[in-house]
Amino acid sequence: MAKKPLLCWLLLLAVLAEAGASDEDGAELDYSKLSGIIIPGFASTQLRAWSILDCPYSPLDFNPLDLVWLDTTKLLSAVNCWLKCMVLDPYNQTDHPDCKSRPDSGLSGITELDPGYITGPLSSVWKEWIKWCIEFGIEANAIIAVPYDWRLSPSKLEERDLYFHKLKITFETAYKLRGGPSLVFAHSLGNHVFRYFLEWLKLEIAPKHYIQWLDQHIRAYFAVGAPLLGAMETIEATLSGFTFGLPISEGTARMMFNSFGSSLWMMPFSKYCRTDNKYWKHFSGGSHVGPQTYHCDEQEFKTNLSGWPTKIINIEIPSTREIPEANLSSMECGLPTQLSFSAREISDGTFFKAIEDYDPDSKRLLYLLEKSYLGDPVLNPLTPWDRPPIKNVFCIYGTDSKTKVGYYYAPSGKPYPDNWIITDVVYEFEGSLISRSGNQVEGNPGAISGDETVPYLSLSWCKNWLGPKVNITKAPQSEHDGSDVQIKLNVKHPHEEDIVPNMTRSPRVKYITYYEDSESLPGKRTAVWELDKANHRNIVRSPVLMRELWLEMWHDIHPDANSKFVKKAKRGPLRDEDCYWDYGKARCAWPEYCEYRYVFGDVHLGQSCSFFTPGADMITFWQCFLLDDTLHMNTRITPSYNHDFWSLAIL
């Protein structure tokens, strides 16, 4: 038992003896100089009161710096007061006259939304992520959170808070503080924020220095759960309200959500339609002439589904006015007319124009859509992504969960905001489309479903960023010895076509599938990770994701690693949580790494299985194991006759 930690210490010393690693263009790379910058998703940042608000009929008032999002105690006791601190003017996105709120700053603003013994774990967002960083020895100043007011549209973020100016300064400060570039970790809406930042930066920096700035300040971009083509729950929140589990009515949730400038930021849109950038000539050294133009490829009109599995919105409205024939699916005299809308018709405003006589919110949303999105001078976010011009891009998301891809709405007979009711929902699951009642639905389903919140089509758009040849690896998410790892090399990848490997799988095993560039541009790496059953909101808490990120970083740090990506041959335990009891062998599994060590309070055998090295030495032990596992396929250990210990020999 004592030999293994000693061996690890010596191996680690041999690695640390190297001055640093080099990237593909020859520059020295020292990962002790890296920073991690976290961009949280929608509703994942605390908002605090920035004014005084007396709440009648409640003992709880709002004072400056009081928690607004999320304080469930005040929400329950004074919901009307709480709403005043949350809603914005839907036209100019200003605060309510009686109360204003602003985003919290630092890591504390994103770890737990509602701290408390009971509410804390339920509202935890990035807490586990930061805990991993601490356990693995990451310095305090190496992790930087960049919270933002997730209620605002992208242009308003800059206009009101100078958010993108501050984000640029954050990257530059991190570089000066630690001496190296940053790793960007963005989740959900945070990916749209980062995309807008990259476009905004083009107008801030001289075109010839743009790529140079990116290479200097950003080493890698990890896009986690990115709704690259939008998300369906945005539709539900807009038309009927989505409470996110809060103790408020759906109508109240709808009014609040539709007051936010960000309410349209994740609307689904067509993958075949794009907007010419107003300032593309600025980037190429010319000057802008003429307005923005929105154009779609011929494929958009062949199926009229915008590439999605089905029509996104099917809605009944009174047949008292003329409706364009292109939208008519059925019409009978005296009966409501059912209209169907594709992603393109949602993102270009056709849908909101069609229902503006029947819904007061549609006029406000149409105004917001045209001013803050279609007319945004930096970027129309409702257009498909291209690969960000960053050296290393990793796109990570969950799959194989039942995910909404379409809605059926009808008038409820109630006044606004409860005037619409969901009559049916279409889900994608296991390669088919099914309704809420379990009936099969016609359409164009993909082979894989999404992460329960974002459809697979939207999540997997980043596969288009991969090169013409891709290496595919499917491995179990849990600890394994490599016997269930499947690999396909140099798989051809036609442009804008999905890759679905024909690999066997055990029905009881959760897998992670890696799609990694076999051929890529010099100095560029692109990878896509698909995690079975990983939930959209909880993926940032996933120990599997943290393990793979950690291995990827340790792969890059080693100066003699001769592969672009981490080998997947073996995954052993890294923490106490990974050790468990093997009932078949009546011992702790992975006996070379885990031992039985009872601690008072353990209620089952698995709790008593612990990693070998306790205390501070555990970090060193982990680091050594990661190094050994990372280079499993291209490392051998041989005796050195010039020293008293074993040394690494890299093949």
The residues that are catalytic are 188, 451, 495
Q: What are φ and ψ of residue 275, in 5° steps?
A: -115, 130
Q: What token pair was written down for 228?
A: 């690259």
CB atoms within 10 A of CB 319: 16
Report how far residue 489's alpha carbon sits from residue 491's, in angstroms, rounded to the nearest whole number: 6
CB atoms within 10 A of CB 338: 19
Q: Bridge-partner residues for 317, per DSSP?
A: 337
Q: What token pair was written down for 260?
A: 């936010």
Report how far residue 342's alpha carbon sits from residue 303's, in angstroms, rounded to the nearest whole number: 10
Report how far residue 474's alpha carbon sits from residue 487's, in angstroms, rounded to the nearest whole number: 7
Element (H, E) at 165: helix 163-178
Q: What token pair was written down for 520?
A: 């890529």
Q: Is residue 326 a contact partner of residue 344, using CB atoms and an 8 Å limit?
A: no
Residue listed under structure tokens 């984000």: 167
Stated length of the chain: 651
Q: Is residue 153 a contact partner of residue 372, using CB atoms and an 8 Å limit?
A: yes
Q: Is residue 44 a contact partner of residue 108, using CB atoms and an 8 Å limit?
A: no
Q: Please spell the DSSP secondary structure of 261-291, one letter per residue.
A: GGGGTT----TTEEE--TTHHHHTT----S-
Chain-centroid distance of CA 12 in Å reads: 33
| Residue 39 DSSP SS3 | strand
Q: Is residue 304 a contact partner of residue 346, using CB atoms and an 8 Å limit?
A: no
